[in-house]
A and B are shown apart, each in its own frame.
Chain A
């Protein structure tokens, strides 16, 4: 897997970290995953992993057998948001298909037989939509999906029925959090039938002020209408709220913001031991500092990369000893100091 983040400079990345399209599908003729027998689940796995995908995916997907993956590998996939925590911890026969340089991830035997996901950095919603759709259509050439004349594509949970599509964006909303406006935004989002979740999705905290926003209605509108509403109305509005809050904070309370940002940078530069959550919060503040014009010698791309590398399973890839928590804290601090340019071998004073 590559740690490279494909960054487009003109994609609202000051607020939009990434976008995700998730499509839920079930194979016709089989009970849904939760009700199917293990042999039926195996059959679903076989059908999906061996289905020819045609010209759009000439190399097919790279399949990861989740039952054979180690706990650390599964954790790595969670940290990359390629699988849900639920899917990583499940004991059912299941697999993950990866394609297009990890921009496409297909979970087989999640709550639904298929959860097709495409994830793009920044606000590249159209590209994410097109990729997910092209896989959905390519697969539909060879397998039949459960479909109902009235309810559309059928899913295990009725909240996903219809188009079965969820459009999501990972937003960085520090100013709305600092100003206390985030609760009001969450209430407004609820009225607009949007779900606002934490860093790793449902039931997780918004560590580092990262929030996942997604549509909750999947029925009664076409895929294009849902996309258009989310892309042209919902997300621009949230971007606007956050930018206004940043401006207000800097105008009215600049020393407070500067203090937060510079303290975060100083801590990251000198810390000898760093926990994953602490590092995430401090890096989030750096990200805010860069996008607010307070920090100039750092790029959002660099911080994005560090945000991923400081997570436990990623860190263990770089330093196998970091799997132990205490050694991980030491290793993480070195990694960050090195990335921020303040680490020199044999110079313990820095």
Chain B
């Protein structure tokens, strides 16, 4: 039902139109209140996003992200890559903002570390942090990138 009030030459005229006649006069009638539509939209969006995130699954051990959220424990080493980028955010929060390992490296992989991949990942995260105006985090990541540059490089074959 649409109520139309027209004031013309000082005369007030009220029209009460049924949905069919209102549509014929060009009124667009919402069948459901807009607030409800937005709520549904938001809920659907959130639920889809949440469902998608929760359904993510580690390719090696089959642990789902929802299971991880429930227990706080990863299933295997591959989980750390399977659940990126959420893993980075979780670890940084748990580890007071630390963004990467600076301690000992096992002998077996010393000198063959794929530092380039870590660098690329850090640069990507710096860009995202700056875009999200998380300047403190960006600075911390930047610091780590510099440290990586300053750290001892793996020994190379002596040249003659």
- Could you list which residues of chain A lie within 8 angstroms of chain B, going by C-beta atoms? 26, 28, 30-32, 34-35, 111, 140-141, 144-154, 156-159, 161-163, 165, 193, 216-223, 225
Question: Contacts of A35 on B, CB cut-off 8 Å?
Answer: 61, 63, 75-76
Question: Contacts of B48 on A, CB cut-off 8 Å?
Answer: none
B102 within 8 Å of A (CB atoms): yes
Per the bound structure, the CA–CA distance linking A34 and B75 in Å amounts to 7
Per the bound structure, the CA–CA distance linking A89 and B121 in Å amounts to 41
Asked, given contacts A152-B101, A223-B104, whether A217 binds B96 with beta carbons under 8 Å apart, the answer is yes
Q: How large is the interface on B (under 10, 10 to 19, 20 to 34, 35 or more residues)?
A: 35 or more
Per the bound structure, the CA–CA distance linking A31 and B101 in Å amounts to 21
Residue pairs across A and B with Cβ atoms less than 8 A apart, 27 shown, are A31-B75, A34-B71, A34-B75, A111-B73, A140-B106, A140-B107, A144-B106, A148-B81, A150-B100, A151-B80, A152-B100, A152-B101, A153-B103, A154-B74, A158-B90, A158-B94, A161-B80, A161-B101, A162-B103, A163-B103, A193-B96, A216-B96, A219-B100, A220-B100, A220-B102, A221-B98, A221-B102
- The number of residue pairs between A and B whose CB atoms lie closer than 8 Å in the complex comes to 113
Would B72 and A157 count as touching, CB distance under 8 A? yes
B109 within 8 Å of A (CB atoms): yes
Which of B73, B102, B121, B144 sits near A156, CB closer than 8 Å? B73
Which of A149, A154, A223, A225 sits near B118, CB closer than 8 Å? A149
Which of A26, A140, A159, A222 sits near B103, CB closer than 8 Å? A222
A-facing mask of B62-83, CB < 8 A → 1, else 0? 0100000001111111001100
Question: Contacts of A146 on B, CB cut-off 8 Å?
Answer: 77
| Chain B interface mostly | loop
Would B73 and A34 count as touching, CB distance under 8 A? yes
- Could you list which residues of chain B lie within 8 angstroms of chain A, going by C-beta atoms? 60-61, 63, 71-77, 80-81, 87, 90-91, 94-109, 113-115, 117-118, 121, 144
Which of A32, A148, A193, A216 sits near B75, CB closer than 8 Å? A32
Q: Write the nearest CB–CB distance from A345 to chain B, whole angstroms.
A: 54
Question: Contacts of A147 on B, CB cut-off 8 Å?
Answer: 105-106, 109
Closest to B73 in A: A156
Q: Write the nearest CB–CB distance from B116 to chain A, whole angstroms.
A: 10
Question: Contacts of B90 on A, CB cut-off 8 Å?
Answer: 158
Q: Write the nearest CB–CB distance from B77 to chain A, whole angstroms.
A: 4
Would B77 and A161 count as touching, CB distance under 8 A? no
Per the bound structure, the CA–CA distance linking A154 and B91 in Å amounts to 12
Question: Contacts of A34 on B, CB cut-off 8 Å?
Answer: 71, 73, 75
Tell me which of B75, B104, B118 has the highest count of chain A C-beta atoms within 10 A of its own C-beta.
B104
Would B91 and A158 count as touching, CB distance under 8 A? yes
Q: Write the nearest CB–CB distance from A149 to chain B, whole angstroms.
A: 5
Would B103 and A152 count as touching, CB distance under 8 A? yes
Tell me which of B76, B91, B144 has the highest count of chain A C-beta atoms within 10 A of its own C-beta.
B76
Per the bound structure, the CA–CA distance linking A32 and B104 in Å amounts to 21
Would A154 and B73 count as touching, CB distance under 8 A? no
Question: Contacts of A151 on B, CB cut-off 8 Å?
Answer: 80, 91, 100-101
Q: Write the nearest CB–CB distance from B21 to chain A, whole angstroms.
A: 64
Question: Contacts of A152 on B, CB cut-off 8 Å?
Answer: 100-101, 103
Closest 8 interchain pairs by CB?
A220-B98, A152-B101, A35-B75, A163-B103, A219-B98, A146-B77, A219-B95, A31-B76
Tell me which of B71, B102, B109, B113 has the highest count of chain A C-beta atoms within 10 A of its own C-beta.
B102
Q: Write the nearest CB–CB distance from A192 to chain B, whole angstroms.
A: 10
Question: Contacts of A150 on B, CB cut-off 8 Å?
Answer: 100-101, 118, 121
Q: Write the nearest CB–CB distance from A131 to chain B, whole angstroms.
A: 16
Per the bound structure, the CA–CA distance linking A141 and B108 in Å amounts to 9
Asked, given contacts A150-B118, A151-B80, whether A161 binds B72 with beta carbons under 8 Å apart, the answer is no
Q: Write the nearest CB–CB distance from A133 to chain B, whole angstroms.
A: 9
Closest to B74 in A: A156
Per the bound structure, the CA–CA distance linking A193 and B95 in Å amounts to 9
Closest to A152 in B: B101
Q: Write the nearest CB–CB distance from B25 to chain A, whole angstroms.
A: 62
Q: Write the nearest CB–CB distance from B120 to chain A, whole angstroms.
A: 11
Question: Contacts of B96 on A, CB cut-off 8 Å?
Answer: 193, 216-217, 220
Closest to B117 in A: A149
Would A149 and B114 count as touching, CB distance under 8 A? yes
Would B94 and A220 count as touching, CB distance under 8 A? no
Tell me which of A141, A157, A158 has the highest count of chain B C-beta atoms within 10 A of its own C-beta.
A158
Closest to A157 in B: B73
Q: Write the nearest CB–CB distance from A216 to chain B, whole angstroms.
A: 8
Would A219 and B101 count as touching, CB distance under 8 A? yes
Which of B73, B87, B101 sits near A162, CB closer than 8 Å? B101
Q: Write the nearest CB–CB distance from A48 to chain B, whole angstroms.
A: 16
Per the bound structure, the CA–CA distance linking A140 and B8 in Å amounts to 93
